[in-house]
Amino acid sequence: MQHRPNDCNQNSGQNRKRVINYLRVSVTDLCDYRCTYCMPPEGVERLPHSEILTFEEIRTVVGAGIPLGINRVRLTGGEPLVRRDVPQLVRMLSSLPGIEEVYMTTNGSLLGEFAHALRQNGLKRVNVSLDSLKAERYREITRGGRLEKVWRGIEIARKAGFEPIKLNVVVIKGVNDDEIVDFAKLTLENSYEVRFIEYMPFGPPAVSGKFEYIPADEMKRHIGVLGPLEKLPGVSLSGPAERYKLAGARGVIGFIPAMSHSFCPTCNRIRLTADGRLLSCLFSGRAVEVKSLLRTGAPAERISDAIRLAIDSKPSGREARCESFMSSIGG
């Protein structure tokens, strides 16, 4: 077991006895989109297949985290649904004693094909990344994505029993900030939870430096034209979103102020990358490598020790930039 540097800026800090109960698992570094703010047009260098954790290895890591308090798992990518047989992984994880919920974040491109199988195998909730309500703009942002296909997938997911569905909107100045009000309006007649996320600069400056975030407080001012926002009571360990409602709305509006307001002191998650590294923070400068333990037959206690090391090294704050692409970390 060892700390291995990655190419993110390191930030010192000690874990302040936070309860860490949430593991985000990147099942693949591959994605069928090439979002402009996420990666260059040609994509990024893919990991060799042999370097990707198997489903059984992922289950072993999740199982080793349960005695330490891990009871929620979110599957991410890349795009998790491009990996074959992901519903099988959902079943493997959701059947582990002690795991209360398995979630997924997806771009929605394949959601229509897999929604029913995911639900039947134990997936509790789904978040869909959706950065524009305009078909042509959506195609430009994703470099080829089809908005109508995503909406069709969302509707199929609703019929499969996923309710409410969270829509994740990364708001970028001059790109889609003129749609903030339109996204907020979706909650008036629908049960969606629309979550506005401040853009975070991932990847080399040549990619990430082209974009600028909009502070959550400014987003709230935009939405104010629809009426006052009523803040909902916080729920312990529910995640970083500040949740609000418009008067009479069926749905919820959330804000994730990743840049303007640090939620580091209450962060309850660690991450497992597709190639077997444990990250205590998206912006962490160190990773705890567990793949070698898995592939040399280490006992569960040593896997738990690695998870504990990642938890104990969780920083109290972060730097402002990470040189890794999000697809290599897990969203």
271 DSSP β-pair partners: 24, 279
Residue-range domains of the chain with CATH: 2-329 (3.20.20.70)
Q: Is 129 annotated as a binding residue?
A: yes
What's the pLDDT score for residue 84?
96
**How confident is the model at residue 14, as a pLDDT?**
45
- State yes or no: 270 annotated in a binding site: yes
Q: What amino acid is encoded at 97 in this protein?
A: P
Q: Residue 191, Cβ neighbours under 10 Å: how many?
A: 14
Q: How do residues 180-201 score in pLDDT, each as one tens digit?
A: 999 999 999 999 999 999 998 7
92 annotated ligand-binding residue? no
The 10s digit of each residue's pLDDT in 140-172 is: 999 999 999 999 999 999 999 999 999 999 999
58 has binding-site annotation = no
pLDDT of residue 195: 97
Number of neighbouring beta carbons within 10 Å of residue 316: 16
* 326 labelled ligand-binding: no
| H-helix or E-strand spanning residue 299 | none
- The model's confidence at residue 225, banded by pLDDT at 50, 70 and 90, is very high
Confirm whether residue 273 is marked as ligand binding: no
Report whether 105 belongs to an annotated binding site. Answer: yes
- pLDDT tens, residue by residue, 67-122: 999 999 999 999 999 999 999 999 999 999 999 999 999 999 999 999 999 999 99
Between 327 and 159, residue with greater pLDDT: 159
Residues 6+ apart with CB under 8 A from 184: 194, 223, 226, 246, 253
Q: Which residues contact residue 254 at a Cβ distance below 8 angstroms, ignoring those fewer than 6 apart?
A: 166, 193, 194, 195, 196, 241, 242, 243, 244
Instruction: State the average pLDDT over residues 6-31.
Output: 69
| Upper half-sphere CA count for residue 13 (Cβ side, 13 Å) | 21
266 is in an annotated binding site: no
Taking 50 as the threshold, does the pLDDT of residue 236 lie above it?
no
For residue 223, the model assigns a pLDDT of 98
The residue type found at 203 is G
Question: Is 284 annotated as belonging to a binding site?
Answer: no
Reported as a single tens digit per residue, the pLDDT across 249-304 is 999 999 998 877 766 777 889 999 999 999 988 776 679 999 999 999 999 999 99
C-alpha 58/C-alpha 79 separation (Å) is 16
Please indicate if the annotation marks 24 as binding a ligand: yes
Nearest to 117 by CA among 94, 135, 147, 140: 94
Question: What single string gives the DSSP state of each residue in 217-277?
Answer: HHHHHHHGGG-PEEEPPP-TTS-S-EEEEETT-SSEEEEE-TTTS--GGG--EEEE-TTSE
3: confidence class by pLDDT, cuts 50, 70, 90: very low
Q: How far apart are CA 233 and CA 198, in angstroms?
A: 21
Is 267 marked as binding a ligand?
yes
Question: Is it true that the peptide bond before 164 is cis, omega within 30 degrees of 0?
Answer: yes
CA distance 314 to 307: 11
Q: What are phi and psi of 276, to 5 degrees?
A: 85, 35
How far is 242 from 136, CA to CA, in rounded Å? 30
Say what the pLDDT of residue 239 is: 62
Which of residues 5 and 211 earns the better pLDDT score? 211
> pLDDT tens across 52-65, in order?
999 999 999 999 99
Query: Average model confidence (pLDDT) for the chain?
Result: 88
327 annotated to a ligand binding site = no
Distance CA 93, CA 73 (A): 8
Q: Find residue 229's DSSP bridge partners.
A: 246
pTM of the predicted structure, to 2 decimals: 0.89
- E strand residue ranges, 150-231: 166-171, 193-198, 229-231
Q: For 234-252, what is the mean pLDDT?
A: 81
Q: Does residue 322 have a known ligand-binding role?
A: no
Q: Is 308 known to sit in a ligand binding site? A: no
